[in-house]
Chain A
Amino acid sequence: MFDRSLRLYLPTALFLAVAPANAQQLSDRDLIQTLGQARSTAPIVDVGLLAQELIANVGKGVATLPNWSQLATLPQLAVEINFANDSDAILPESYRTIGLIADAMHNPTLRHFKFLIVGHASATGKAEHNLELSERRANAIMVALTTTFAVPPSQVLALGVGQELPLDKANPKAAINRRVQLINLGVPR
Chain B
Amino acid sequence: MTKRIGILATTLVLSLVIMTGLAGAQTISFADAAALLARDCGPDIEKYCKGLNLGNNAIRNCLEGHQSNVSPTCTATASAVATSIERRLAAQASVMKICSGHAKTLCKGVVGEANILRCLVRTERLDGAKCNQAITDSGWR
Cβ-based interface call for A62 (8 A): no
Complex CA–CA separation, A93 to B54 (angstroms)? 12
**Docked pose: A99 CA to B45 CA in angstroms:** 17
**Nearest residue in A to B82 (C-beta to C-beta)?**
A148
The A-B contact count (CB < 8 A) is 85
Question: Who on chain A is nearest to B86 by CB?
Answer: A150
Expressed in whole angstroms, the Cα–Cα distance for A150 and B90 within the complex equals 11
Are the C-beta atoms of B31 and A100 separated by less than 8 Å?
yes
Q: Mark B52-74, 1 if CB is under 8 A from A, else 0.
A: 11111100000000000000000
Known contacts: A92-B38, A96-B35. The answer to whether A144 contacts B45 by CB under 8 A is: no
- The 6 tightest CB contacts between A and B, nearest first, are A99-B34, A143-B55, A99-B30, A92-B38, A144-B55, A95-B34
Residue B32 CB within 8 A of the other chain: yes
A99 with B92: CB separation less than 8 A: no
In Å, the complex CA distance between A119 and B89 comes to 27
List residues of A (134-151) whose CB comes within 8 Å of B's CBs: 140, 143-150
Contacts of B32 in A (CB 8 A): 96, 99
Q: Indicate if the CB atoms of B35 and A87 lie closer than 8 Å.
A: no
Contact B55 A93 (CB under 8 A): no
Answer whether A99 and B33 are a contact pair too, CB < 8 Å, given A93-B38, A106-B92.
yes
- Residues in B with CB closer than 8 Å to A84 are 50-51
Chain B contact residue count (CB 8 A cutoff):
30
List the B side residues contacting A92 at CB < 8 Å: 37-38, 41-42, 45-46
Q: Smallest CB-CB separation from B28: which chain A residue?
A: A99
CB contact list, B1-60 vs A, under 8 A: 29-35, 37-38, 41-42, 45-46, 50-57
Question: Is there contact, CB below 8 Å, between A99 and B31?
Answer: yes
Q: In this complex, which of B30, B37, B89 has the most chain A Cβ atoms within 10 angstroms of its Cβ?
A: B30
Inter-chain pairs besides A89-B52, A96-B32, 15 sampled, C-beta below 8 Å: A84-B51, A89-B51, A90-B53, A92-B37, A92-B45, A93-B38, A98-B34, A100-B31, A102-B31, A102-B34, A140-B54, A144-B54, A144-B55, A147-B57, A148-B55
Contact A102 B30 (CB under 8 A): yes
In the complex, what residue of chain A is closest to B89 when comparing beta carbons?
Answer: A150
CA distance A99 to B85 in the complex (A): 10
Q: Is there a chain B Cβ closer than 8 Å to A164's Cβ?
A: no
Given contacts A92-B42, A96-B38, A150-B89, contact A108 B55 (CB under 8 A): no
23 A–B contacts, CB within 8 A, in A order: A84-B50, A84-B51, A87-B51, A89-B52, A89-B53, A92-B41, A93-B38, A95-B37, A96-B31, A96-B35, A96-B38, A97-B31, A98-B34, A98-B54, A99-B29, A100-B30, A102-B34, A107-B140, A109-B114, A144-B55, A147-B55, A148-B56, A150-B89
